[in-house]
Amino acid sequence: MSAITTPGPLRHFLQLRDFSESEILYVLERGRIIKDRFKRYLPHRTLHDRNLAMVFEKASTRTRVSFEAGMYQLGGSVIHLTTEGSQLGRAEPIEDTARVISRMVDLVMIRTYEQTRIERFAAHSRVPVINGLTNEFHPCQILADILTFVEHRGPIRGRTVAWIGDANNMAYTWLQAAELLGFTLHVSAPEGYRLDPRRVGSQPAAVLREFDDPLEACRGAHLVTTDVWTSMGYESENEARRLAFADWCVDEPMMAVADPEAVFMHCLPAHRGEEVAGEVIDGPQSVVWDEAENRLHVQKALMEFLLLGRRED
């Protein structure tokens, strides 16, 4: 039977910096071990009988499939909720939803709008809560991205990551990763869509460099990455963004000035011909399919860590 409560202090993963560098490195290494076992068809059922509730207030393909498949592969089970299909869509307070769901399951993953919404949920939850994307952060994606970089190119410490495009949930999570793991982040976004200095603060000055010209941001980078021009929830800005972002398409000239060994990543879904040229995302430097797959492996490690702590087996 599942315990419904977690041994040890209750931990959430609402943003990347909820974990220390050592905890992130542990989850990445554990994800690598879990992936290796998965590839060799070795059972790894450390969450036998545990139950994950997934709450989606926005659309998803990768997050849904990776959490759902991952939990079943770990020996557990999953409940899938959406806003429209639950009482959240009929204005039940998020706090009440948290109180109820967290008495019935072992773990919750939420994809929602404001970070404050997931924080309110977590504050009233008896079980760990995982951020499956908010307007502000996408920490599970960055875990997968860093695992992918490490697999292809080794440790990320001391390297340079170029973020081209909207200063969105992915960009701010990359910034937290740069601070925690010790690499440099180049960011280039059009005026009006740049990092907000109030959110950046003064600390990251050492790891962050901002560029007007996206090509200059790519120069010498070991990883070039981008995302859609319009994130979920901002669709009313579509036309204005199309105009503003026209020069922020990761293309072959940008990849040509990056490090010769540079890889290209995109969290997906992608729009070829908008934020990335087809030749880049479908080209030899692209690792986007490994990146997407690694959501599965690293999130299995994350769920295991939140429920069981560090494992030696």
Is residue 228 within the footprint of ligand CP (CB under 6 A)? no
Is residue 62 within the footprint of ligand CP (CB under 6 A)? yes
The smaller minimum CB distance to ligand NVA, of residues 47 and 298, is found at: 298
Question: How far is it, in rounded angstroms, from Cα 167 to Cα 39?
Answer: 35
The DSSP element (H or E) to which 23 belongs, if any, is: helix 21-39
Q: What is the CA radius of gyration of the chain?
A: 19
User: Cβ 256 to ligand CP, closest distance in Å?
Assistant: 27
The footprint of ligand NVA on residues 259-278 (CB under 6 A) is: 267
Question: How far is it, in rounded angstroms, from Cα 163 to Cα 175?
Answer: 10
The smaller minimum CB distance to ligand CP, of residues 60 and 86, is found at: 60
Question: How far is it, in rounded angstroms, from Cα 62 to Cα 119?
Answer: 23
Select from ligand CP, ligand NVA, none the partner in contact with residue 61, using the beta carbon and a kind-dependent cut-off of 5 to 8 Å: ligand CP
In Å, how far are 178, 199, 247 from 136, measured between CA atoms?
16, 10, 24
Parallel/antiparallel/unpaired status of strands 51-56 and 77-82: parallel
From the CB of residue 259, how many other CB atoms can be counted at a distance below 10 Å?
Answer: 18
Is residue 232 within the footprint of ligand NVA (CB under 6 A)? yes
The smaller minimum CB distance to ligand NVA, of residues 51 and 134, is found at: 134
Site stretch for ligand NVA (CB under 6 A), options 120-128, 163-171, 177-185, 299-307: 163-171
Nearest C-alpha neighbor of 142 from the set 305, 294, 300, 306: 294
Number of residues that bind ligand NVA (CB under 6 A): 9
Single out the residue of 6, 60, 82, 83 in contact with ligand CP (rule: CB under 6 A).
Answer: 60
In the complex, the residues that contact ligand NVA under the rule CB under 6 A are: 133, 168-170, 227-228, 231-232, 267
In the complex, the residues that contact ligand CP under the rule CB under 6 A are: 60-63, 133, 141, 267-268
